[in-house]
Amino acid sequence: MKRAIVVGSGPGGAAAARRLQGRFDVTILEAGGEFRPFTSSLLVPELARKAGLLFDEREISLLFPAMRVHKALDGMIVVRGRGTGGTSTVATANALRADDDLRRIGIDLDEGFAELESAIPITADHRSLWRPPTVRLFQVCREIGLDPFPTPKMGRFTHCRNCGRCVLGCRFGVKWDSREFLRDALAAGARLVTGAEVESLVVSGGQAAGVMVRHGFRRRFHAADLVILAAGGLGTPEILRNSGIPLEPGLFVDPVLCVAAPFPGANQNRELPMPFIAARDRYIISPYFDHLSYFFNRSWNRPARNILSLMIKLADDGSGTVDGGKVGKALTRDDLQRLAGAVELCTEIFARLGIPGTDLFMGTLNAGHPGGMFPLTPAESESLHHSSLPGNAFVADSSLLPASLGKPPMMTIMALADAIATRAMQG
């Protein structure tokens, strides 16, 4: 049987490996280790926060190794998951379809979405978990014509404990993440290697012969007949660059800014995050307690239970780079104008709750959906394969997206990765 290497075990990698195993002998190479949710008490970071010992968001990795933070050159915080399951383990399991840009260039993912919806437990029936302030926020959004809707979630939320710690990994097995697809692939015979940081493709005679991998202080060549790169919107571009394959300076990151208010007894920190969404032109608004802002932003220096927050997630312009682990990303003038408009809208929402704008405080600008540096074009809509890649090498993650989604991308990435793996098997 031919050998396939899948680089990364996040949404794209797990979906591709699940599709390929059986037709190929699949090895999944994951740079991180086995994911474990953060099960400890938050008392220690709470005490460190009060003592002023938490001053750099990158410190979060000391407490929670599965979450890695990069600082862009202009200071924006970019978050990614590292470990089995990738960023899906520290996401909020939102099951949104967001393939309009792909459809515009001729890519039809209907079949992939239908299969995902049959394979993953998805529900929007979770209003019983909403606390009264969230119910009121939903009502206000309706009153002002924002057409909010309960967020479809991946998981078994009838068993949800409403602990509010989705972004720290679900310790109760409620939230779905891509490790479930990874387990499907392993049960079918695939092999997983953790601590395997892929550096580059190895090309011979115009074909990918395999990948060069760093295991700790050792480097090793892994041979393959097919290579699928799914190391994420920051990881895959580094591998491509190290392989001499040109990229575009089109990095997007879906920036997040939380607008927060003092609200005694909100208890949003112990609630299902992003319970509903109000979508606008190139951004969404959703209730969300931002742990990064709470621990590292001094504006949030009050008890967690007394903070009510609205997340703005922006579809930013693709105008950034990643090189050698350094992220070059700044918001454009248009990004800043859209963000200012979104802040005004959040201010209006809070005003209808009786909270004046002077009481509001901002979160830390951060982002967690990097992509776009290796975008698909209409010319690749059928093959899903870039001509600059060897014929037996594919990319299967957010690097391929033509533009920022401004909304959770996990379902779209998995549907696209599944389609790419199917094309790879046909080739």
Locate the domains of the chain by residue range. 3-34+176-245+372-426, 43-83+124-170+251-367
Q: To the nearest 10°, the Cα dihedral for 67, 88, 326, 407?
A: -120
Predicted structure pTM score: 0.96
Check: CATH 1.10.390.10 for 3-34+176-245+372-426?
A: no
Structure tokens at 80: 């990614």
293 and 300 Cβ atoms separated by less than 8 Å: yes
- pLDDT for res 42: 79
Query: How far is Cα 287 from Cα 293, in angstroms, rounded to an integer?
Result: 14
Query: C-alpha angle with apex 233: 124 to 311, nearest 5 degrees?
Result: 45
- pLDDT for res 427: 74
Query: How far is Cα 127 from Cα 152, in angstroms, rounded to an integer?
Result: 11
Query: How far is Cα 67 from Cα 85, in angstroms, rounded to an integer?
Result: 12
Looking only at the bridges linking them, the beta strands covering 218-223 and 122-123 are unpaired
226 and 24 Cβ atoms separated by less than 8 Å: yes
Helix H or strand E encompassing 242: helix 232-242
- pLDDT by residue for the chain (427 residues), tens only, comes to 999 999 999 999 999 999 999 999 999 999 999 999 988 777 777 777 777 767 688 888 877 888 889 888 778 999 999 999 999 999 999 999 999 999 999 999 999 999 999 999 999 999 999 999 999 999 999 999 999 999 999 999 999 999 999 999 999 999 999 999 999 999 999 999 999 999 999 999 999 999 999 999 999 999 999 999 999 999 999 999 999 999 999 999 999 999 999 999 999 999 999 999 999 999 999 999 999 999 999 999 999 999 999 999 999 999 999 998 899 999 999 999 999 999 999 999 999 999 999 999 999 999 999 999 999 999 999 999 999 999 999 999 999 999 999 999 999 999 999 999 999 998 7
- pLDDT for res 63: 73
- Token pair 């680089």 in the structure block, residue: 7
Q: At what angle do helices 132-143 and 333-351 cross, to 10 degrees?
A: 110
HSE-CB for 313 with a 13 A CA cutoff: 23
Query: How far is Cα 3 from Cα 45, in angstroms, rounded to an integer?
Result: 45
